[in-house]
């Protein structure tokens, strides 16, 4: 077996990288693939908790990258049928983790899993470079927002500089409006999927409801990435409604999802005000870029800003 590695990246926090990883892993697992998702957002790790995995003192990817644990020690099973290698938000362990070890630490996983998904951090810090370089393909995630588009473009440009390959763009929180359509039209075939906005996706219920439009879109994305026309679900229902023979477990989870408090999709990736002030250096690239951002908004009209961002993202594929 030689598993394929996909880095899910995007530059701006809150666009849906963690949500995309969780739902891709769920879709691929339902189709019988062996999948592991790794939280390489070392500064703001949250993939484990949103999937119900809390190491609580046990090994994480931070320990692996510090040379204090093997990769198998930091691997846990989720109730969705795939494995996860979570991180921690402990500052001491963040400081000890060396992103350059990622390639060597995760190498054995390609012999054990069909698909390895890397949940990357926001910004353009050093910890982003390793997964962009390591991955067989990089998937850029953006929303129709102009800042998200611009930052996705910057991540794509960085990918090219470090020798990586961008597979395409996922438009998350896609709406039936002019801005979403403009983005899709500009990128054309480079759009791998448009994931519809789904207020039921929250920190508590990060996986889309069974057979929902979002689940169908994520399943289509998964099939595109692995090069098949459509995923055939054999280990549970995700994009397709469960049959009677599959029991009530998935139906119960879907009903539970419906009871969750609506919130903006991908809220798990939006840091709180206190986290922004005191968090690690994962957002340092944006702190350094603040003056440029303020100038960007004040010096140009909205139409010009958007055209510039769209053109920059488009040029990645030219």
pLDDT of the chain, 318 residues: tens digit per residue: 578 999 999 989 899 999 999 999 999 999 999 999 999 999 999 999 999 998 888 999 999 999 999 999 999 999 999 999 999 988 888 899 999 999 888 889 999 999 999 999 988 878 899 999 999 999 999 999 999 999 999 999 999 999 999 999 999 999 999 999 999 999 999 999 999 999 999 878 999 999 999 999 999 999 999 999 999 999 889 998 876 555 444 443 444 344 333 333 344 444 444 344 333 444 444 455 555 555 555 545 778 888 999 999 999 998
- Say if residues 140 and 120 touch (Cβ distance below 8 Å): no
The answer as to whether 15 is a domain residue is yes
Cα angle for residues 61, 63, 67 (degrees, 5° grid): 115
Range of the domain at 175: 4-244+257-315
For residue 124, give the 3-state DSSP assignment.
coil
How many domains would you assign to the chain?
1
Q: What is the pTM of this model?
A: 0.83
Asked if residue 250 is part of any domain, the answer here is: no
252 falls within a domain: no
CATH number at residue 74: 3.40.50.300
Answer yes or no: is 249 within a domain.
Answer: no
* 236, part of any domain: yes
251 located within any domain: no
> pLDDT value at position 252?
38
With a CB cutoff of 8 Å and minimum separation 6, the contacts of 31 are 222, 231, 232, 233, 234, 235
Q: Report yes or no on 305 lying in a domain.
A: yes
In the prediction, which pLDDT does 71 show? Answer: 94
* Strands ordered across the beta sheet of 115-119: 76-77, 83-85, 35-39, 115-119, 4-9, 137-142, 166-174, 191-196
């Amino acid at each position: 077996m030689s598993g394929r590695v996909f880095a899910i990246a995007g530059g701006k926090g809150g666009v849906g990288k963690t949500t995309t990883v969780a739902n891709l892993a769920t879709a691929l697992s339902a189709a019988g693939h062996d999948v592991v998702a790794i939280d390489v957002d070392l500064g703001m790790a949250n993939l484990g908790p949103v999937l119900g995995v809390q190491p609580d003192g046990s090994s994480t990817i931070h320990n692996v990258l510090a040379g204090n644990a093997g990769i198998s020690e930091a691997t846990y099973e989720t109730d969705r049928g795939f494995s996860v290698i979570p991180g921690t938000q402990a500052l001491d362990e963040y400081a000890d983790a060396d992103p350059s070890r990622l390639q060597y630490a995760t190498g054995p996983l390609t012999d054990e899993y069909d698909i390895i998904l890397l949940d990357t951090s926001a910004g353009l810090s050093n910890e982003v470079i390793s997964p962009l370089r390591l991955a067989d393909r990089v998937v850029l995630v953006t929303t129709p927002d102009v800042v998200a588009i611009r930052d996705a473009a910057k991540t794509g440009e960085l990918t090219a500089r470090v020798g990586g390959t961008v597979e395409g763009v996922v438009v998350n929180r896609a709406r039936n409006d002019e801005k979403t359509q403009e983005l899709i039209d500009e990128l054309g075939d480079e759009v791998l999927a448009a994931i519809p906005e789904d207020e039921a996706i929250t920190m508590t219920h990060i996986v889309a409801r069974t057979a929902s439009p979002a689940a169908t879109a994520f399943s289509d994305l998964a099939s595109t990435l692995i090069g098949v026309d459509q995923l055939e679900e054999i280990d549970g229902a995700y994009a397709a409604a469960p049959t009677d023979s599959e029991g009530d477990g998935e139906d119960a989870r879907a009903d539970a999802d419906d009871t969750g408090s609506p919130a903006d999709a991908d809220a798990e990736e939006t840091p709180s005000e206190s986290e922004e002030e005191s968090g690690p250096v994962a957002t340092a690239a944006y702190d350094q870029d603040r003056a440029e951002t303020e100038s960007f908004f004040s010096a140009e009209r909205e139409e010009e800003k958007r055209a510039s961002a769209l053109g920059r993202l488009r040029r990645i594929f030219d």
